Amino acid sequence: MYDHYDGLIFDMDGTLVNSEPAHRQAWTQVLEKYRLTFSFEQMIALNGAPSWKIAHQIIIANNVTFDSYQLAAEKEQYLDKILLTHSALLPLISVARQYHGRLPLAVGTGSSHAMADRLLTHHGVRHLFDVLVGADDVQHHKPDPQTFLECARLMGVTPEKCVVFEDADFGLRAAKAAGMDAVDVRTH
């Protein structure tokens, strides 16, 4: 089905791995610790954004003066403790397995490079992907196209010959801005 592309790019959280509940649980721990509020809908609207950007929105919504990077680091500490045991592969991994060795495959994620590497390795699928671009590998994050453009560059594939698999509006906008086709996995 994707044979006419030269490279496939996958988001990770919510696309390849059902890790969103663990992310929400980690945020809940941080919010409770500091008695902050942020609705489920607000959190969902930021899916695909790096943790520090979500932290920044939490700070604004609560009108407090926290450091967004420190708040995000605390969330990542909680996440690190629960992610491997509170996540599972999603059915889309079958596409990566099918095209492994046939086309270059990349993961472009809003998670940190180390976290993504650890999670994909834990689930036994890291070897499927030639390229991994995490939030700390780029300066501009989704919906900016830099993550996906960097994936294409590292795969040696022109952007217009790539397809992106995404579950978040930020990521779909980033794929479009990169000149790539996109598959909204929420509709499949």
- The catalytically annotated residue of 3, 6, 11, 144 is 11
Percentage of the chain with pLDDT > 70? 99
Confidence of residue 3 (pLDDT cuts 50, 70, 90): very high
Nearest alpha carbon to residue 155 among 175, 132, 123: 132
Checking if the pLDDT of 48 tops 80, the result is no
Confidence of residue 49 (pLDDT cuts 50, 70, 90): confident
Per-residue b/e over 149-175, b at no fewer than 16 CB within 10 Å? bbbbebbebebebbbbbbbbbbbbbbb
Confidence of residue 163 (pLDDT cuts 50, 70, 90): very high
Q: What is the CATH number of domain 7-16+90-184?
A: 3.40.50.1000
The CATH homologous superfamily for domain 20-85 is: Putative phosphatase; domain 2 (1.10.150.240)
The pTM assigned to this predicted structure is: 0.90
Report domain extents, the chain.
7-16+90-184, 20-85
Residue keyed to tokens 């089905």: 1
pLDDT, residue 50, reads 82
Residue 11: active-site member = yes
What is the mean predicted confidence (pLDDT) over 131-145?
Answer: 95
- How does the average pLDDT of the chain come out, rounded? 95
d(CA 141, CA 153): 16
Confidence of residue 32 (pLDDT cuts 50, 70, 90): very high
Helix (H, G, I), strand (E, B) or coil at 172: helix
